[in-house]
């Protein structure tokens, strides 16, 4: 399975979390299942410090949830605030929380995604600790129910480039 690829097996939802692009298939790395969602780590996944212009090491990690276009946008929106945003806010340890909605295309064709949530953590270990909490488990369960059009979850190392 490729990094970020949706799982389409009937026994599993369309949800996978992978730590790095080179993790390889889920069977090659440590993973944990929450309901119908799998959190994958993989050997070598971890912090890779970066250096700011001032010489300070930076290694933030971001957990991104990408919601594909739902079957019924009205039903999704009516449950989104109470079932997803509130559950995401209860996941411990994040530094910053962002929610966004993809702008519609001018030609009216479907967008490649519908909404996104981003939770930023100080490092990889903090992100992994957060997604293995009961609060995250409740979030992933609700996410699987609400994401009728599919969902992707990514864990990314924030790269800081010098301007």
Calculate the alpha carbon distances from 161 to 58, 69, 80, 158 in Å. 11, 32, 34, 10
Tell me what the pLDDT averaged over the chain comes to. Answer: 75
Q: Which of 79, 149, 154 is nearest to 110 (CA)?
A: 149
pLDDT at position 159 is 84
Instruction: Give the sign of the dihedral formed by CA 59, CA 122, CA 16, CA 131.
Output: positive
Total-model pTM: 0.67
- pLDDT per residue as tens digits for the range 120-145: 999 999 999 999 999 999 999 999 99
Query: Is residue 116 over pLDDT 90?
Result: yes
Q: Which of 69, 47, 26, 39 is nearest to 136 (CA)?
A: 39
Query: Could you confirm whether domain 58-163 is CATH 3.30.70.100?
Result: yes
């Amino acid at each position: 399975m490729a990094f970020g690829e949706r799982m389409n097996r009937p026994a599993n939802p369309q949800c996978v979390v992978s730590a790095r692009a080179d993790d390889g298939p889920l069977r090659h790395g440590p993973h944990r299942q929450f309901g119908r969602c799998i959190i994958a780590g993989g050997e070598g996944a971890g912090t890779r410090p970066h250096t700011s212009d001032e010489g300070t090491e930076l290694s933030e990690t971001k957990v991104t949830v990408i919601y594909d276009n739902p079957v019924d946008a009205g039903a999704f929106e009516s449950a989104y605030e109470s079932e997803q945003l509130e559950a995401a806010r209860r996941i411990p340890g994040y530094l910053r929380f962002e929610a966004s909605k993809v702008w519609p295309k001018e030609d009216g064709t479907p967008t490649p995604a519908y909404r996104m949530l981003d939770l930023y953590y100080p490092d990889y270990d903090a992100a992994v600790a957060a997604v293995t909490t009961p609060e995250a488990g409740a979030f992933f369960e609700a996410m699987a129910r609400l994401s009728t059009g599919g969902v992707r979850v990514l864990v990314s190392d924030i790269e800081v480039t010098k301007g």
